[in-house]
Each structure stands twice: as C-alpha cells, then as structure tokens.
C-alpha cells in the first residue's frame, strides 16, 4: 500500500507540504489531502511499465471512508454542470502486478480525494496533457521501465469559489525516472493552465455572474507547459526533495528560464546529459 520512495532506486520521497495534509495510501500510490481546501495537495504513484495490466473499469466514484466527508470534495460539486472529475493519479498508472492487486489499484483511483474539478472540453491541449506520462514511459523504456509521477492542483489563494470549493486553475505534474542503471535520477515538470484568456475586469464580472447562477466559474482552454521543477515547488509550496536538482530542462536548456508552451508531444525535452 502506498507510494514507494525507493521504487526507482534513487530515492524520490513524498512531497512535503507546508500545510496540514492527510496521507492516504492506496495500491501503488498515495494521496496527500488538504482538508482545508478539500482537495489533494499532491499525489504520488509508482508505475511499472513491464507489469501494466488491462482490467475492467470501475467508474463508481466514492468518498474515502478514512476521511470525514466534510474534508473531501464529493459528488455535490459535480452535479448538474459540465465539470469533470479529473483523475490526479490516472486510472491505468497503478494498475500493474498480480491481477487482484491491479484490479484493486484501479478501484482505488476512484475515490474523491484523487479527483479534482477540470473543464470538460476535451480539446487537443487536453489530449497532450493526458499523453505526457505515456510519452515519458516510452522514453524510459530503454532504462528501467519504471516511473514515479507526482501530480496535483496548484492551490492558489485567488482560486474562484463554487459550491464552497475553490476551483484550481492550474495543475502540475513531475515525472521522475532513473538513469545509468539506477545510479542517477532524472525529472521533468509540466503545468496545465485552464485560466480563462480574459481581461481581469471581464473575468471578475463573468465569475461573479456565474456564482449568482450556481454555475462553475469560467475556465479557459487548456495550455500545457514544460517548466522547471523548481517552479512547481515555488507555485505549490511543496518540498520536492531531489527532483529540482534532477531536472532535465535545467540540464538541456540552462539559459531558457521561461516556460515552454507545448503544442505536441515531440516538443517535450527529456534527454539529460551530464
């Protein structure tokens, strides 16, 4: 049960949050739930590409019985609107190992602490975001066929409120793998931004009108960026341990400090050179 920090060989510890969180271990992954925001501050999953299995989907979302209902965001947020329950740990990622274990891992991903509200429009940029882990797994296949992936929302102070929950406008992902037969760590970080592309005054007015009509606040088109791992730590306030120092973006492009907006998977930088 739970995320294994030694899964890659080089240690990748769970993120450490500045705020109080509830540590919720599941099969091959762990959710760090922020009970004040009622959403995950971070998730961490181990992925074994050799042992991945296909198991039947169980799409029945449920509250986590280990946490009081008032500390997690449940089905009431998603009722009668077009918000998606976005998996933070993707359903297929922990689904590996013995068939019974894999099936339990699939079920474990359908607890509400592993969900976050996302815009429902399934556009090209969202497909890019969802394909990142597969892309990195293919890149790592020549290494150890294993990944550790950390994912979560950016829980910002100015996130708009809807039905008592402040909806994140940004999400982040840090992917880690090992190099040199497990002697060296590599990492890459990404941010998904669903902030509406509106002037501040128009955004404020639209958000206010949505609240009055019991509708979700406006969310914009998905934009995906490869970013320095250190920027994810700064955005979230999380201690990401050795991952900022292992960032391939810092190795391959130390002069490029700006975020790199991605339009296709072949634009992702993964090659780390000494």
34 backbone dihedrals φ, ψ, rounded to 5°: -90, 105
pLDDT score for 41: 98
CA–CA dist 114, 140 (Å, integer): 25
User: Averaged over 259-264, what is the pLDDT?
Assistant: 88
Give the model's pLDDT for residue 232.
96
Q: Which tokens sit at 14?
A: 């769970």
How far is it, in rounded angstroms, from Cα 8 to Cα 21? 25
Question: In the predicted model, what is the mean pLDDT of the chain?
Answer: 86
Q: Assess whether pLDDT exceeds 50 at residue 261.
A: yes
Q: How far apart are CA 27 and CA 106, in angstroms?
A: 8
Percent of the chain topping pLDDT 70: 85
Mean pLDDT to the nearest integer, 218-247: 90
Q: What percent of the chain is predicted at pLDDT more than 90?
A: 55
Report DSSP letters for 63-108, one per residue.
--TTS-GGGS--GGGGTTS--EEEESS-TTTT-BSSHHHHHHHHHH
Interatomic CA distance for residues 173 and 108, integer angstroms: 20
Task: Please tell me the predicted confidence (pLDDT) of residue 126.
Answer: 67
Q: What is the pLDDT of residues 74-94, one digit of tens each?
A: 999 999 888 889 899 999 899
b/e map of 211-242 (b: 16 or more CB within 10 Å)?
Answer: eeeeebbbbeebbbbbbbbbbbbebbebebbe
| pLDDT tens figures, 140-190 | 655 557 899 999 999 999 898 899 999 999 999 999 998 877 788 999 999
Q: Check residue 274 and give its pLDDT.
A: 42
Q: Is the pLDDT of residue 69 over 70?
A: yes
Distance of CA 70 to the CA centre of its chain: 23
Give the Å distances, CA to CA, from 166 to 141, 159, 160, 209. 38, 5, 5, 16
Lowest model confidence (mean pLDDT) among 5-9, 29-33, 264-268 = 264-268
Average pLDDT over every residue of 241-261: 81
Better pLDDT: 123 or 177? 177
């Amino acid at each position: 049960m739970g995320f294994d920090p030694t899964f890659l060989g080089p240690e990748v510890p769970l993120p450490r949050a500045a705020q109080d969180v509830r540590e919720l271990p599941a099969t091959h992954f762990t959710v760090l739930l922020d009970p004040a925001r009622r959403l995950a501050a971070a998730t961490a999953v181990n992925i074994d590409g050799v042992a991945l299995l296909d198991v039947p989907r169980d799409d029945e979302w449920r509250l986590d019985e280990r946490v009081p209902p008032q500390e997690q965001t449940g089905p009431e947020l998603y009722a009668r609107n077009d918000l998606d329950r976005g998996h933070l740990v993707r359903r297929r990622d922990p689904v590996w190992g013995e068939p019974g274990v894999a099936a339990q891992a699939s079920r474990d991903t359908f607890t509400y602490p592993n969900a976050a509200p996302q815009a429902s429009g399934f556009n090209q940029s969202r497909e890019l975001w969802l394909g990142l882990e597969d892309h990195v797994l293919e890149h790592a296949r020549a290494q150890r066929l294993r990944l550790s992936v950390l994912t979560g929302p950016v829980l910002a102070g100015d996130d708009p409120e809807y039905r008592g929950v402040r909806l994140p406008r940004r999400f982040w992902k840090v992917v880690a793998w090992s190099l040199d037969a497990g002697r060296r760590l590599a990492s890459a970080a990404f941010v998904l931004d669903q902030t509406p592309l509106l002037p501040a005054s128009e955004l404020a007015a639209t958000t206010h009108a949505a609240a009055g009509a019991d509708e979700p606040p406006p969310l914009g088109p998905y934009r995906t960026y490869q970013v320095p791992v250190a920027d994810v730590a700064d955005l979230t306030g999380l201690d990401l341990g050795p991952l900022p120092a292992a960032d391939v973006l810092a190795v391959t492009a130390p002069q490029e400090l700006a975020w790199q907006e991605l339009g296709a998977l072949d634009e992702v930088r993964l090659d780390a050179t000494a």
